[in-house]
């Protein structure tokens, strides 16, 4: 049947593994990601992707802990807001607040794990699916446009681009999330030290727990650095193999 044949073709495309990437591609995509995160204007433009992951982390944690998600807003200054309803204290609220700053790094780590099996198409389509799921919860025009543009780019690459372009895009994106998950934590503490973020996630967590805001900033940083280290080891597999450092 044509429908079954079409679904089978899509499934095979989704689950197929691409060849191992050249070690040079892995290295160059890491360099590009570092350059984007470390450079002011590229970071200012690309940071919105980190904000999407951040707010998505809040939203997912809220739903998983039984809170009612009221909506997500993404702003042109790369800030965002996720509103949920439920108990103002307790584990659900704590996990919801905790999830934001660690989400980009953990998503990057999950992406790195998929790339170790060269599941590039699966990675890209999962990204599109998550963006679509998030889209229905967006409550402002800029947020809708941000998700449509981001999802459209990922979908176009996954469907029309050559395998080489898909690989470069996927590796760069995952490296970017791993490195990009660290910088917002640093920026958070800088703003807090100037008294410019009194309602940050860390400060809200401090009011709900016995631990001070700096402790939670440290937790954010520790998780982000651990995810970066683990993800880098996973992504660097082709380089280590090329250098004869793996069995």
Domain ranges of the chain: 21-242
Is 20 or 2 the better-scoring residue by pLDDT? 20
Return the HEC string of the chain. Answer: CHHHHHHHHHHHHHHCCCCCCCHHHHHHHHHHHHHHHHCHHHHHHHHHHHHHHHHHHHHHHHHHCCCEEEEEEECCCCCEEEEEECCCCCHHHHHHHHHHHHHHHHHHHHHHHHHHCCCHHHHHHHHHHHHHHHHCCECCHHHHHHHHHHHHHHHHHHHHCCHHHHHHHHHHHHHHHHHHCCHHHHHHHHHHHCCCCCCCHHHHHHHHCCCCHHHHHHHHHHHHHHHHHHHHHHHCHHHHHHCCCCC
Q: pTM for this one?
A: 0.92
- pLDDT tens for each residue of 47-106: 999 999 999 999 999 999 999 999 999 999 999 999 999 999 999 999 999 999 999 999
- Residue 185's pLDDT is 97
């Amino acid at each position: 049947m044509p429908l079954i044949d079409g679904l089978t073709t899509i499934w095979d495309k989704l689950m197929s593994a691409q060849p191992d990437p050249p070690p040079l591609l892995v290295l160059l995509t890491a360099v590009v990601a570092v350059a984007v995160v470390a450079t002011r204007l590229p970071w200012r433009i690309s940071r919105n992707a980190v904000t999407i992951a951040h707010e998505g982390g809040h939203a997912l944690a809220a739903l998983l802990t039984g809170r009612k998600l009221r909506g997500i807003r993404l702003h042109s200054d790369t800030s965002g807001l996720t509103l949920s309803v439920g108990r103002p204290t307790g584990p659900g609220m704590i996990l919801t607040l905790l999830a934001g700053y660690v989400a980009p790094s953990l998503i990057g780590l999950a992406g790195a794990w998929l790339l170790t099996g060269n599941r590039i198409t699966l990675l890209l389509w999962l990204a599109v699916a998550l963006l679509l799921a998030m889209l229905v919860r967006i409550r402002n025009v800029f947020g809708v446009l941000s998700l449509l543009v981001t999802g459209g780019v990922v979908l176009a690459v996954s469907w029309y681009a050559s395998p080489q372009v898909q690989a470069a895009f996927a590796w760069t994106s995952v490296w970017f999330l791993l490195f990009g998950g660290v910088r917002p934590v640093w920026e958070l503490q800088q703003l807090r030290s100037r008294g410019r973020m009194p309602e940050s996630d860390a400060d809200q967590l401090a009011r709900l727990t016995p631990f001070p805001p700096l402790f939670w900033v440290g937790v954010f940083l520790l998780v982000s650095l651990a995810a970066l280290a683990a993800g880098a080891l996973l992504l660097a597999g082709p380089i280590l193999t090329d250098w004869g450092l793996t069995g």
